[in-house]
A and B are shown apart, each in its own frame.
Chain A
Amino acid sequence: MVTESYDLVVVGAGPAGLAGAGAAGQLGLRVALLDMAERIGGQFYRQPAAALGATRPQALHHDWDAFVALRGRLAAGRVEHLGRHHVWAVERDGDGGRGGPGERPGGRRGDGEWVVHAVVGEDGGEGGEGGGEGRRAVRVRARAVLLATGAYERQLPFPGWTLPGVVGAGGAQAMLKGGLVRPGKRVVVAGSGPLLLAVASSLASAGVEVPAVIEASGYLGYARHPRALAANPRKLAEGLTHGAALLRHRIPLRTRSAVTEAYGSERVEAVTVSRLDARWRPVPGSGRRIACDALAVGHGLVPGIELATTLGCATRSTADNTLALRLSSTQETSVRGIWAAGEVGGVAGAQLACAEGELAALAIAARLTKPGPYAGPDPRRPSGLDPGRPARVGQLLSRRARLRAFAEAMAAAHAPGPGWTDWLSDDTEVCRCEEVTAGRIRAAVTDEGARDARTVKLFTRAGMGWCQGRMCGAAVSCLAGDGQPPAQRRPLAVPVTLGALAAEGPGCGQEPSRSQT
């Protein structure tokens, strides 16, 4: 099996990964950029497949110019883009994943310290027919790793949410951007967070009737953070742009409301929208039915940090109760040599992702090109950053501070209230994969003594299915009373076939071709 070696492996080709890979490439590092999609862009800049021949991809996007700049920078440096690579693990070279010191037998410390494992193919699965690519497993070696794995949507279940036509708000956006398709002709957009406004305006521009945008929080929450708002005029302008788009398409925005039930036989035909109190409990008698043929729903984003937590990277809780990576002033995780940028450090949007990706690249380049042993991070000084570019570094640091402050205000404003579980009925499926109902989970808590999501999983199988709790994790934790899904340590971050594992051959550090030469 072939193992390529690079200075830096970047996992994720969204804004953070693109900015990081592009900057590192321009600083002279040899970079591999791995992403599960064929084309770069991640979710935010998800591009239509090339064969769809989109002559105006920018019409589906916000800030496309920034993407064009990132793309140009990537092409200018020594960056190898490896699309359709599903990374399932990152481990230290030479210890078979046991977390020991980064030395290979006969190897030099600091050279090829990390091994990134991936399966190659459209879905990384077992579909070997189309050229056998589904079974290809690869290992990529690197001296440093930048995790820019982004986020996925947080879902809070409600009766009827498993009906066909109920899709993630981000999912509707992804299918629109990538496949130029829409889930229906009349689509209610609901949940919480600024993504809803973007999704509603995209759908409306693409000919979808959006009868309402339903936001569980109020936008007044932002007013509690006047300094973060004042420092971010561009974010406010974005909000105004989306607001203006809603007005133009005559889409009403209902705040402090939620879709508390979806109805339909074969597919969703209508939803009930209820008023919420300050704790997100539905106000009795406030329900109002809206006819629709699809619902796009999501309650903010959850950092996708499985690769990092499996490595033992430290985490922190965010204001909206998600788990994000704890990062140093130079974007390094608590595990030396593993860096992170963008949503994995706390959901904050594309602009911050770009700033963080570039900062990480500067720090990594400084580390890797520094002669002699590394002295260790100095928390008082954002050192380790390329001393040749003080102005750029200063600019990025202040941009990061400003945008992080805004993100904290945003997370606080849209944090789910604890009362949302009141809209569940006992027969609402919470875990979509294993078809575990709210009633079953409540029984595990009240009758069987489960006090956290992990115990609930062991008792009920909630979170044990294909998605590994990515869809139900937030909900199960709320029902179990521990509030927040635990940091996951999984040897496989994505499904890997036995065939792919076998194709990998002997474990790292035991490769005959390396140890014998």
Chain B
Amino acid sequence: MSRRQRWSGREARVDGAARTPGELAGARPGPAFEITVDGRALPALPGQTVAAALWAAGILAWRTTRAGGKPRGVFCGIGQCFDCLVTVNGVANRRACLVGVRPGDAIGTQEGEGRGELAV
């Protein structure tokens, strides 16, 4: 898919300045695959976390807070802040910055505690 092409060596610049992180690190990822985010298809790369796949697609928020309903996404990036909680294949409250994506993963934005189905 397009992301792989963007990271290919053909676009490497001669002046040494990278245009993307992948280009800087000389990334040669495996073929991209598809995941869904609230039903919408997105490309993802093997090795990416859920958070990285979402950032790569320009998505920065995927949770709304319990009280104020405010949008949140990655904050600390190292598994400490729990702001990036997300629902992965029906399991709520997973840390997007730690969980890797797999082909066909259904990512769901999460409202509040992500346990709306338990409401009576």
Contact = CB atoms under 8 A, between A and B. Distances in A.
Interface of A: 36, 43, 48-57, 59-60, 122-123, 125-130, 152-153, 162, 164-168, 170-176, 178-183, 205-207, 266-267, 294, 432-435, 465-467, 470-471
Contacts of A435: 65-68, 70
Nearest to B92: A126
A300 to B, nearest CB: 14
A140 to B, nearest CB: 20
B60 A182 contact: no
Given A162-B70, A207-B17, A432 B25 contact: no
Interface hub of A48, A152, A173 (most chain B Cβ within 10 A): A48
A128 B21 CA distance: 32
A176 B72 contact: no
B63 to A, nearest CB: 10
Contacts of A172: 77
Contacts of A56: 24-26
Nearest to A174: B77
Given A123-B94, A180-B25, A207-B21, A162 B72 contact: yes
A299 to B, nearest CB: 13
Contacts of B67: 434-435
Interface residues of B, number: 55
Nearest to A42: B78
Contacts of B77: 167-168, 170-175
Given A162-B70, A179-B55, A467-B82, A153 B49 contact: no
A207 B23 contact: yes
Given A183-B55, A470-B81, A206 B29 contact: no
Given A175-B55, A182-B55, A435-B68, A470 B25 contact: no
| Nearest 8 Cβ contacts at the A-B interface | A171-B77, A179-B52, A51-B47, A49-B47, A466-B82, A55-B26, A56-B26, A53-B28
Contact of A59 (B25, B29, B98): B25
B24 A127 contact: no
B18 A206 contact: yes
By secondary structure, the B interface counts as loop
Given A175-B55, A205-B24, 4 more contacts: A56-B24, A168-B75, A180-B52, A181-B52
A195 B100 CA distance: 27
Interface string B55-92: 11000110001111011111111111111010011010
A51 B18 contact: no
Contacts of B61: 164, 266-267
B37 interface: no
B70 to A, nearest CB: 6
Contacts of B68: 435
B78 A471 contact: no
Given A123-B98, A266-B71, A181 B82 contact: no
Interface in B22-59: 22-30, 45-49, 51-52, 55-56
Contacts of B88: 127
B107 interface: no
Contacts of A206: 18, 20-21, 24
Contact residues of A: prevailing secondary structure? loop
Contacts of A183: 55, 60, 74
A125 B93 contact: yes
Contact of B91 (A53, A126, A165): A126
Interface in B82-115: 82-83, 85, 88-89, 91, 93-95, 97-100, 102
B83 A181 contact: no
A309 B72 CA distance: 31
Q: Which of B20, B80, B93 has the most CB of A within 10 A?
A: B80
B115 to A, nearest CB: 12
B46 A51 contact: yes
Residue from B25, B49, B76, B81 with most neighbouring chain A CB atoms (10 Å): B25
Contacts of A176: 21
Given A122-B100, A127-B94, A206-B20, A470 B80 contact: yes
A15 to B, nearest CB: 15
Contacts of A164: 60-61, 71-73
A205 B71 CA distance: 29
A213 B88 CA distance: 36
A53 B23 contact: no
A191 to B, nearest CB: 13
B82 A433 contact: yes
B60 A175 contact: no
A168 B73 CA distance: 12
Nearest to B9: A55
B48 to A, nearest CB: 6
A56 B18 CA distance: 12
Instruction: Identify which of B68, B79, B91, B99 gathers the most chain A CB atoms within 10 Å of its CB.
Output: B79
Contacts of B95: 123, 125
B25 A60 contact: yes
A278 to B, nearest CB: 29
Contacts of B48: 49, 52, 179, 181
A51 B94 contact: no
B45 A52 contact: yes
A56 to B, nearest CB: 4
A59 B51 contact: no
